[in-house]
Amino acid sequence: MSSLTSALPPAQGTGARVARWGLYLILLLFAAYYLLPLLLMITTSFKSPEEIRTGSLLSLPRDFSLDAWSYAWNRACIGADCRGMAPYFLNSIVIVVPAVVISTIFGALNGYALTKWRFRGANIVFGMILFGSFLPSQVILLPMAQTLGALGLAGSAGGLILVHVVYGLAFTTLFFRNYYVSIPDDLVKAATIDGAGFFQIFTKIMLPLSLPILVVTIIWQFTQIWNDFLFGASFAAGGAQPVTVALNNLVNTTTGVKQYNVDMAAAMIAGLPTLVVYVLAGKYFIRGLTAGSVKG
């Protein structure tokens, strides 16, 4: 009986290991399923048109070549423009950087004011701002177009920056408001007693404590703005269009023989920044999302 009893724990341990490895196998299969299109894009972008026509879709490149990447970046014709993706990639950088910075700063100020400097009707104001995060982007197309026309910003990069700042402000305010709720009010009260004002407390106390949510907000806004197509196609024109619109125009205006390697290289160029951001900073994004979840 004693020998039978002593044999049970190893059996249970073996079952647990089998279940764990089975779970790993299932997760690996799901990861392979989702990563297969990305792998096909990468391998196709390094193939020649001849190899794409005669070879297998799943095969690795026989002759590794960067010609499609160089052509997509420098010489691919996007409509009447044959400068490739390069100028539109730079347009996206010009649009993303100020839009992310401005929306993050104003979101932090809003969240700070709504939590630490409470005023009459603060909950109503927050509710109205929060409502903006549930509005479909299609709803604001017409009024935003009229606003940009009245301001003289229609079809420009500056107008697109304004659109992304306004539309993203609801999300950035929500992030910072929920995070600042977890910061003790005593810090602000003590600083107020010492004579610190609104902006002094914000810059000296709140911002140094805001690194986790700053990372979340910057990553969120960066990916949302960089990957945006609807606003870019609606509010930017000609040389001011972002890289996502240029990619769409490149893929849909190719004449003659379809150059799938160039299309795939252009798609990788357009998606590479957000991919790099999530690979390098994804763990900080998750940490930041959970940083303010203990209270409030």
What is the biggest distance separating any 2 CA atoms in the chain, rounded to whole angstroms?
89
Residue 248 binned pLDDT confidence (cut-offs 50, 70, 90): very high
3-state SS class at 236: strand
* Predicted local confidence at residue 10, as pLDDT: 52
Q: What are the pLDDT digits (tens) for 149-174?
A: 999 999 999 999 999 999 999 999 99
Cβ(78)–Cβ(238) below 8 Å: no
pLDDT digit string (tens) for 219-247? Answer: 999 999 999 999 999 999 888 999 999 99
- Distance (Å, whole) CA 18 – CA 248: 47
- The ranges assigned to domains in the chain are 1-36, 86-291
What is the 8-class DSSP label of residue 61? P
Give the closest residue to 268 by CA, choosing from 281, 250, 283.
250
> Residue 8 and residue 226: Cα distance in Å, rounded?
56
CB atoms within 10 A of CB 191: 17
This prediction's pTM:
0.85
Looking at residue 1, what is its pLDDT?
A: 47
Task: Tell the CATH superfamily of the 86-291 domain.
Answer: MetI-like (1.10.3720.10)
Residue type at 196 in one-letter notation: A
Q: Measure the CA–CA gap between 52 and 44, rounded to whole angstroms.
A: 7
